[in-house]
Structure 1
Amino acid sequence: MTDELGIPDAVAEAMREELPAVAEQTVGAIVVEVPSYADAFSGEMGRTIENAVQLALGGFLELASAGGGDASTPIQPALDGAYALGRGEARSGRSMDALLGAYRVGARVSWRHMAASGVRAGLSAEQLARFAELVFAYIDQLSAASVAGHTDELATSGRVRERHLERLANQLLGGGPREDLVAATERADWPAPRTLTAVILPEARVRGALASLDRRTLRSTDDVPGLTSSGELVVLLVPDAEGRSRPALMRSLGEREAVVGPARPWDEVHSSYARALRALQLGLTADGPEPLDTEARLADLVLCADETALADLRAQALAPLADLGAGAREKLTETLRAWLLHHGRREAVAAELYVHPQTVRYRMGQLRELYGGRLEDPRTVLELTIALGAAGTGRRAGTTSPSHGRHSGR
């Protein structure tokens, strides 16, 4: 027996014989006093816990009655079991509150029954007091081992899940078979929403944006296809921001420089990203510090789908004006554009150009001479509308990022 505690072997043996009953009563008390374990400790799991309690207390008695041991220090198998129990709690989604409560209840019940056994077996008052001290020190070390296991499991699972979420974001941006995307959501433990909206914004703005966005929002890693300024721009995939929720998304982004794609079914969000990326590459910007909403710039995006084709169309449509002087060509081009956009309403054209209606009439006469009957041809009118509508946006293609300069928006 130890010098510090000195439990006689006969007393230890008498206490050991009662361990099955003590373990059963301990588990019963935990189920009553820690309700979250009522189901977990039932059936086969309850019997497993009873065995674990017996082993832990048996290990303590072994230390308390063997020479050279410190009864306040759990033997390694008991420590390993407590550590594994903490990890299991984390995997089950429970906090340490319930487990630590179970330890407290277990220590109290175990001590009460073991002390009674010790008294019946002849343990002195001094030995009993020392025994109580060491029992609770023993339980404290088991609790600490469980806390360590719980913390390690959360850290490990958190890192693993974060990697899975990053891979899922990049996989969604790249597109792919739906079954592969579903499998990726399951690996990441990420509940798929109805829709996702792609948002491109500077890395420096991400933290502030995430604070006000849906907690399911996914974030890309550095190797996003299409983004050349790696590390400077990030793609966020925002769940269920369609319809009436879209204005809320724009407000959440506030004055952060961002490009917002359309909402798409979650497994088709690569098309939302493609739209936002196209707007970024074209240098489209909002008229102020607010985010660029690609849904408000669809005409620009359509007109700029093929820059060279648009340039050829414009040159072809305006060919009748090519031989005019620069000043005359500019005036007639402005007049023709306003005439098309206002459907020939002379007063509206004059108001836009700040000229007299008679001036509009004169210029339109010149245009009819140059174009002949083609101004009545629907196909010609369509081509001129596209060519001059694109010219009227006042923007030119270019590549920029939300954080590096602005191109004129209109």
Structure 2
Amino acid sequence: MTNKSSPKIPELSSYDVQLTPEVIASIREVLPQVGEDVVDAVIAEVPPYQDALSGHMGETIRTAVGVALGGFLSLASGAGLAADVSAATPPALQGAYDLGRGEARSGRTMEALLAAYRIGARVAWRQLASKAVEGGMEPAMLVEFSALVFAWIDEISEASAAGHADERATTGRVQRQLRERLARRLLAEATTPEELDDAAARAEWTPPSTLTAVLVPNSQVGSILAKVNQSTLEFDDLRDLNDHTLMLVPDAHGHRRRPLMKALEGRRAVVGPAKPWREARVSYERARRVHFADLGSDTEQHLVELVLSADSDAREDLRAQVLAPLADLRPATAEKLTETLRSWLLHQGRREDVAADLFIHPQTVRYRMGQIRDVYGDRLDDPAMLLALTVALG
């Protein structure tokens, strides 16, 4: 990864500190021990570092501490401080910046990093000040020296913070790209389970039990993301849906579906069914169908309409087939009898309910059903015909 920004050279020339060769020698002598003491204090007092300062990363941190202390001494020993700033500080600041990036990659937070700097500053100041006095520094100069120590700590901690932030930003972009690729693979028909598992691992995404597809207007994405699972996948390269983004929400099944629907109220979103995560495409396709049919926001409330509209041509053929006995009647009569037959099927033959549904007298229902039986005969007692009629007229 390349650096997003370079650490700036500190402007510390305003500190009027003149270190004699004796003071410099005294401080230089103790720098290795100061570095070790700083590391030990960080281990003891900052919990995230208790098991971190071993192996390669531990050596990197120790080296960074040593470079930072050496950079300070080079800076503090310059004539009037300004002369050696450009030569003395870049290695130390670059080391601090790189340290911040490494800490972000290791998963430690900015708060932990800055806490380590605070602890390190306290330990370093105590020992550096003690050695400076031993080397003959005048007490009056100690105040300026103290200010310089903490100003330098501020500079290198700021460089580390910048490195940490840049690494997090870079990592975040890469992770988003990998998760978008995972979402694309989930929507593809030919993707194998092994390919999906590999894509999830590359994206550092822990597969949930289920995924629920949610189609969201682009203008609503930000506000909705704040209310759903942070592992939600996003994908906005949708065919015929340029103004929408797909969210694949983890584990919104069972009793968790209700909070999701509550969060989406008034958002003009369409929510598919919860499906095993590798079958997210099924949830997406169903949400698409409900969106284009303009049925509502919850696909689970429109399953009948979805089934009946799955093959509109086949349904029209079925309708023509089962209504063939009425084809020879006058169109107005056929329409009334079709309407009555549909209500009779849906109300399971309860004459009073059919009459209330059609706003007609029960005797009229009886008369019309008599006409229907005349043309259908025994076929109205055949379960297969009743099923076909119910589907065709549903």
User: Which category of TM-score, normalised to the shorter sequence, fits these structures?
Assistant: 0.7 to 0.9
* Percent of aligned pairs sharing the same letter: 53
Which stretches in structure 2 are left out of the alignment for 5+ residues?
1-12
Q: What displacement does 1:163 show?
A: 2.1
Matches within 5 A, 1:170-209: 170-175=184-189, 176-209=191-224
Match of 2:295 in 1: 285
Candidates 43, 51, 55, aligned match of 1:39: 51
Residues of 2 paired with 1:158 and 1:203: CA distance?
A: 21
Q: Contact 2:355/2:361 (CA < 8 Å) preserved in 1?
A: yes
Pair 1:84-2:89 in alignment: no
Matches within 5 A, 1:256-335: 256-281=267-292, 283-286=293-296, 291=297, 293-335=298-340
Pairwise CA distance, 1:91: 2.0
- Provide the TM-score with structure 1 as the length reference: 0.83
Once the 2 structures are TM-superposed, how far is the Cα of residue 34 of structure 1 from its aligned partner? 2.8
Describe the shift of the 1:371–1:42 C-alpha distance in structure 2 as closer, same or farther (beyond 3 A): closer
For structure 1, which segment, 147-156 or 350-359, has the greater mean C-alpha deviation from structure 2 after superposition? 350-359
- Quote how far apart the aligned CAs of 1:314 are: 0.9
SS in 2 for 1:263: strand
1:56–1:78 contact (8 Å) kept in structure 2:
yes
Aligned with 1:159 (options 151, 166, 173): 173
Contact 1:199 1:260 in 2 (8 A): yes
Paired residue for 2:68, among 53, 56, 66?
56
The residue aligned with 2:265 is 254
Q: CA deviation at 1:153?
A: 1.3
More moved, 244-253 vs 327-336: 244-253
After superposition, give the CA deviation of every residue in 1:325-363 in whole Å (9 maximum; x if it has no partner): 222111111122222223333333333223333322222
Q: Which amino acid aligns with 1:305?
A: A
SS at match of 1:105: helix
CA distance in 2, matches of 1:43, 1:360: 87
CA RMSD of aligned residues (A): 2.7
TM-score after normalising by structure 2: 0.86
Select the residue among 108, 112, 115 that pairs with 1:101: 115
Distance 1:15 1:356 in 2: 107
What does 1:371-410 correspond to in 2, within 5 Å? 371-389=376-394
State how 1:135-150 maps to structure 2 within 5 Å. Answer: 135-150=149-164
Distance 1:120 1:177, change over 3 A: same
Cα distance between partner residues in 2 of 1:208 and 1:44: 42
CA 108–72 in structure 1, closer or farther in 2 if over 3 Å, else same: farther
Match of 1:191, SS?
Answer: coil
Q: Quick one: distance in 2 between partners of 1:310 and 1:236? A: 32
Name the aligned partner's letter for residue 76 of structure 1: P
Give the whole-Å Cα distance in 1 for the aligned partners of 2:269 and 2:73.
Answer: 66
| Distance in 2 (alpha carbons) for counterparts of 1:128 and 1:341 | 94
Alpha-carbon distance in structure 1 between the residues aligned to 2:99 and 2:373: 88
**Counterpart AA for 1:19:** L
Rounded to whole Å, the distance in 2 between the matches of 1:48 and 1:379 is: 77
Cα-to-partner distance string for 1:347-390 (whole Å, 9 max, x where unaligned): 3333322333332222222222222333233332222222111x
